């Protein structure tokens, strides 16, 4: 393995022209120059339980309503004991001696949510496209759409600093809402400096994440060959919060998806791609059927043939559903029932905040209400015996936690409250005005709660949010930076901010 790659230093590799090498080196140097000054300053010290997450220190989360998401453990009111970064024991009552204690009475204690598809670079464009769809609609001339406006205009003017603050601000927002793991589908790799900014922003959030290395645009584009440098510089060990996935889109012009998939295999990476029937992908996906593997993550999976579904099931590929976005932006009917019928254990993902919120309470409610609406209609029209089983609250929480961990190959680390896994845990306030009195823990999480109920969040045993406040983050300062980035993007793209449009 290349020695310079090991330390992330720019260097000329065989087959690289001197001009392209100099562009790469200059871009990386630019990223190194701006990032230290752009990173957030820690907020004033906040009082949290002493020693939580420290090596060898034990912490008892006591008296909570536990949704373990582990069938062998079950659900009950009881305790969770953690030591350092990991879960040590989960039981109705634990005698932990002199361990630090977190009083979880009146709280639902469960694994953090796992988001398997999020374009975090678009944070500065939140709510810009609330009424848009993916592509131009002849019945709505002049209306903004995702492909032409978000990817075609805005994404092309991003600087590395815009990427960094979008990653940080959007990631902290999700962490605040209890999402402790994310796959960031970052289609913003215009240069190595942009790629470095994505990773540095994800690191600054301090949660578990999968860096999705997808496409970019422009003269300094180093995609996909820069994947080797990125993997060697940032992802040389499994013993860290961040890992890497290779983008393997089938719609990129002049790019053979098999070349991307083979590069992922060479680098021992998962492959992620959007699979959208309304964009005419069925024929291509059918052609690629022999090349599906258990390391493929198919996002949306709308409008695909039965043969494609059968092959995905056969090899153990994973399906990520973005139900509210799929319904809103004309991807095609979310294939939630198809995935359930095939026993494929789909996960949930938020997709784009330019159109819809990134909190997981919205995702769970979108999934359960759509599935039940379709099943109930069949029951009314054809009789209850012809209708699919109704999705229940506990099942949809599985979609939002352990299924996502399995889909990202992280279920050995997270997704359930299982001894030996890392302590990615959220405490949800069930005494709050919008929930009390608590009568059904899973039902309250799915049908009543929202992000305001996320009281405390731990990632690998470290407290990231405590009693309603993110720890160590200067949110007003970061807000100023995301607003400044928004202003730059709109001005450079020559688009007016449609505040009242």
pLDDT digits (tens, 9 = 90+) for 172-207: 999 999 999 999 999 999 999 999 999 999 999 999
Beta bridge partners of 185: 212
Query: pLDDT tens across 335-345, in order?
Result: 999 999 999 99
> If you average pLDDT over residues 146-150, what whole number do you get?
97
When pLDDT is cut at 50, 70 and 90, the band that residue 54 belongs to is confident
Give the E-state strand segments of 219-295 in sequence order. 242-247, 270-276
Burial bucket for residue 256 (CB in 10 Å: 0-12, 13-18, 19+): exposed
Query: pLDDT tens across 366-405, in order?
Result: 999 999 999 999 999 999 999 999 999 999 999 999 999 9
Task: Give every CB contact of residue 220 below 8 A, 6+ residues apart in sequence.
Answer: 23, 24, 27, 190, 191, 192, 193
Per-residue model confidence (pLDDT) at position 51: 72
Query: pLDDT tens across 438-476, in order?
Result: 999 999 999 999 999 999 999 999 999 999 999 999 999
Name the least confident of 32-46, 252-266, 398-412: 32-46
- Cβ atoms of 204 and 239 within 8 Å: the answer is no
Residues forming CATH 2.30.40.10 domain(s) in the chain: 36-110+417-432
pLDDT of 30 over the 90 cut:
no
Confirm or reject CATH 2.30.40.10 for domain 36-110+417-432, answering yes or no. yes
Measure CA 412 to chain center: 18
When pLDDT is cut at 50, 70 and 90, the band that residue 39 belongs to is low
Give the containing element (helix H, strand E) for 91. Answer: strand 86-91
Which CATH entry fits the domain spanning 113-407: 3.20.20.140, 2.50.20.10, 3.40.50.720, 3.20.20.70? 3.20.20.140
- Report the phi/psi class of residue 329: left, alpha or beta, with left for phi > 0 and alpha for psi in -120 to 50: alpha
Is the whole-model pTM more than 0.85? yes
> What CA dihedral angle connects 324, 327, 329 and 335, to 10 degrees?
100
Per-residue model confidence (pLDDT) at position 464: 97
- Cβ atoms of 150 and 121 within 8 Å: the answer is no
Name which residue leads in pLDDT, 26 or 323. 323
Q: What is the DSSP string of 159-197?
A: -HHHHHHHHHHHHHHHHHTTEEEEEEEE---SSHHHHHH
Mean predicted lDDT score pLDDT of the chain: 92
Residues forming CATH 3.20.20.140 domain(s) in the chain: 113-407
Distances in whole angstroms, Cα of residue 447 to Cα of each of 26, 68, 268, 339, 366: 51, 19, 40, 22, 10
- Cβ atoms of 194 and 216 within 8 Å: the answer is yes
């Amino acid at each position: 393995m290349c020695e310079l790659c090991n330390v992330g230093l720019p260097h000329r590799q065989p087959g690289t022209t001197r001009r392209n090498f100099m562009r790469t080196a200059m871009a990386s140097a630019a990223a190194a120059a701006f990032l230290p000054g752009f990173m957030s300053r820690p907020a004033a010290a906040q009082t949290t339980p002493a020693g939580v997450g420290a090596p060898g220190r034990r912490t008892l989360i006591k008296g909570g309503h536990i949704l373990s998401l582990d069938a062998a453990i079950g659900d009950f009111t009881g305790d969770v004991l953690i030591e350092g970064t990991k879960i040590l024991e989960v039981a109705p009552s634990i005698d932990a001696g002199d361990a630090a204690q977190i009083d979880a009475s009146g709280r639902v204690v469960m694994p953090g949510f796992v988001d398997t598809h999020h374009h975090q670079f678009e944070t500065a464009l939140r709510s810009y496209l609330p009424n848009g769809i993916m592509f131009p609609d002849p019945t709505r001339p002049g209306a903004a759409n995702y492909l032409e406006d978000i990817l075609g205009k805005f994404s092309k003017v991003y600087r590395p600093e815009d990427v960094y603050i979008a990653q940080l601000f959007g990631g902290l927002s999700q962490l605040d809402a209890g999402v402790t793991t994310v796959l960031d589908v970052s289609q913003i790799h215009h240069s190595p400096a942009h790629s470095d900014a994505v990773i540095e922003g994800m690191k600054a959030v301090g949660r578990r994440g999968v860096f999705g290395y997808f496409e970019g645009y422009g003269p300094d584009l180093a995609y996909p060959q820069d994947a080797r440098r990125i993997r060697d510089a940032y992802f040389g060990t499994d013993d860290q919060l961040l890992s890497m996935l290779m983008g393997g889109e089938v719609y990129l012009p002049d790019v053979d998806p098999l070349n991307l998939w083979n590069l992922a295999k060479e680098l021992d990476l998962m492959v992620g791609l959007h699979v959208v029937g309304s964009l005419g992908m069925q024929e291509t996906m059918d052609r690629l059927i022999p090349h599906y593997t258990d390391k493929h993550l198919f996002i949306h999976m709308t409008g695909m043939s039965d043969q494609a579904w059968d092959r995905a099931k056969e090899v153990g590929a994973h399906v990520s559903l973005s139900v509210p976005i799929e319904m809103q932006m004309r991807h095609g009917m979310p294939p939630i029932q198809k995935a359930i019928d095939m026993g494929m254990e789909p996960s949930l993902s938020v997709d784009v905040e330019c159109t819809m919120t990134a909190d997981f309470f919205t995702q769970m409610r979108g999934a359960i209400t759509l599935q039940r609406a379709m099943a109930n209609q069949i029951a009314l029209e054809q009789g209850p015996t012809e209708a699919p089983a109704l999705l229940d609250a506990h099942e949809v929480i599985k979609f939002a936690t352990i299924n996502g961990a399995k889909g990202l190959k992280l279920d050995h680390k997270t997704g359930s409250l299982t001894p030996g896994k890392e302590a990615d845990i959220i405490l949800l306030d069930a005494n709050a005005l919008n929930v009390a009195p608590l009568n059904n823990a899973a039902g309250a999480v799915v049908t009543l709660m929202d992000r305001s109920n996320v009281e405390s969040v731990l990632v690998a045993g470290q407290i990231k949010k405590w009693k309603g406040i993110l720890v160590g983050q200067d949110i007003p300062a970061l807000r100023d930076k995301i607003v400044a980035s928004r202003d730059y993007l709109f001005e450079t793209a020559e688009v007016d901010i449609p505040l009242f449009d």
